[in-house]
Amino acid sequence: MALAIVNWNIAEKSTWFVRLADSGSAVAVELYVTQADAEAQTNLQASGESAGYGSGLEVELTDAAGELELKTAVDGLKKEDTGGAGADAMTTGIAFLYDGTKDAPAWPGLTNFLIHYAYGIDLGTPTEISKLIMYDNRISDDWYGGRDDIEIWASNDNVTYGFLQTYSNPARSQGVTELVFTTPATYRYWKVFCSSAADGLWVDDGYWCQIAELECCGERGSTAPVSLFQEDYSWHLTVAGQSEDDTKIFKVKEFVEMDEISHSIYRNSELITARATAEINAHTHAAIIRNISLGTHLPEIEVGDIAELDSDRRGVDDLSQVYEHQIVGTPDSLVSEIETRKYLELKR
């Protein structure tokens, strides 16, 4: 079985790029608004996961707004011995701080986190950040020597930095320290500053720690939140898939097949507006077509008129729109033949 979309129940009138992948225990679903984002897994709009593998698996999606994502850095920063103040400008061009390897340069790479040293990254533009992650080359979970204070400073010009927050002996696991901000802030340049250390430098189990990587995380901010097309169903889509199925990206468009708005049935602004509203609201629909022969000819019937069909015997009483009108027969026996249409909304 290949990964596939079985049903669709999302109300937005838009084109979606849906990424289906094997999460290791179920089918993972991610929604994007462009093909490039779906391929790179950037700017996620919503996501969800099925309960296991199989067919007809219901998936309820959660908007990406509020979730954190890694913000891309364009440069690394460093400042040695700032004299006790974290406000100093930083030296640029420190590539290893954002190269993704999370490996510190070989000794003596001069990346030791000594007291009054600072390391940072440039995000290219002011970006709202909620958390900064610091990676070092040590793997113990414990600090050596007691209290160490780390400060967060930020700037928009790499000339003047402002103080944001202090972390005293922050929690650390396997060489990873997550510094979560009390309040998110928006700046371009970010740095961590060692303001105090029990042994004059940042150490672990007697060894000097070298900074290997810095990462900034901020909220994704979904631009196209999802909502249900049919509220009677709790799922946004149903999918099919098995373990180890290859990842696939589907382009999902609205399945509307209404006639072009240039058709003569849409001959005035009111009908054009009505048709456009119907198209937006209906999403997917079926056209119910009736061909009716009248007992006489009625020249006054025009395309676009509303026709009421009322039949007690057939149990029919509904309205539809005249789509075509022809007068046929002989001069002494003319009748009107009309084609009417109405549209039925369908669940995708």
pLDDT of 164-212, one tens digit each?
Answer: 999 988 877 777 889 999 998 999 999 998 887 655 455 555 556 778 8
Tokens of 281: 């609201």
Which value, in Å, is the radius of gyration of the alpha carbons in the chain?
32
Question: Hey, what are 345's tokens?
Answer: 């909304």
Q: What is the C-alpha to C-alpha distance for residues 322 and 317, in angstroms, rounded to an integer?
A: 16
Residue with more model confidence, 330 or 107 = 330
CA dist 189 and 71 (Å) reads 12
Phi, psi of 280 (to 5 degrees): -65, -45
CA–CA dist 261, 275 (Å, integer): 8
Alpha carbons within 13 angstroms on the beta-carbon side of residue 224 total 18
- Which pLDDT band holds residue 13 (cuts at 50, 70, 90)? low
Token couple for 146: 């007691």
Q: What pLDDT, in 10s, does the model give residues 136-163?
A: 876 555 544 445 788 999 999 999 999 9
Domain boundaries, the chain: 4-64+222-252, 70-219, 269-345
Q: How many CB atoms lie within 10 A of CB 62?
A: 15
Q: What pLDDT shows up at residue 1?
A: 63
Name, of 4-13, 99-108, 129-138, 256-265, the range with top average pLDDT: 129-138
Amino acid, single-letter form, for residue 3: L
Strands, DSSP E only, in 3-53? Answer: 4-8, 16-22, 27-32, 46-49
pLDDT of residue 269: 64
Give the single-character DSSP code of 173.
B
Residue with the bigger pLDDT between 122 and 2: it is 122
Partners of 211 in the β-ladder: 136
Q: What tens digit of pLDDT does each residue of 23-40 get? A: 999 999 999 888 998 998
How does strand 62-63 pair with strand 54-59? unpaired
pLDDT attached to residue 145:
44
Element (DSSP H or E) covering residue 280: helix 269-282
State what percent of residues in the chain have pLDDT above 90. 24
Mean pLDDT of 325-330: 89
CB 70 within 8 A of CB 217: yes
CATH topology of domain 70-219: Jelly Rolls (2.60.120)
Length of the chain: 348
Strand partners, 153: 163, 191
State which H helix or E strand residue 39 sits in: helix 35-40
Three-class secondary structure of residue 67 per DSSP? coil
The pLDDT assigned to 257 comes to 43
Rounded to an integer, the average pLDDT of 290-313 is: 84
Closest by Cα among 148, 137, 150, 204 to 176: 137
pLDDT tens-place string over residues 52-109? 999 889 999 988 866 677 888 999 998 887 676 778 889 898 888 888 887 666 544 5
16-25 residue pLDDT tens:
899 999 999 9
Residue 263 has pLDDT above 60, yes or no: no
Long-range contacts of 89-96 (CB under 8 A, 24+ apart): 89/158, 89/159, 89/160, 89/161, 90/118, 90/120, 90/158, 90/189, 90/191, 92/122, 92/158, 94/119, 96/212, 96/213
Give the chain's mean pLDDT: 80
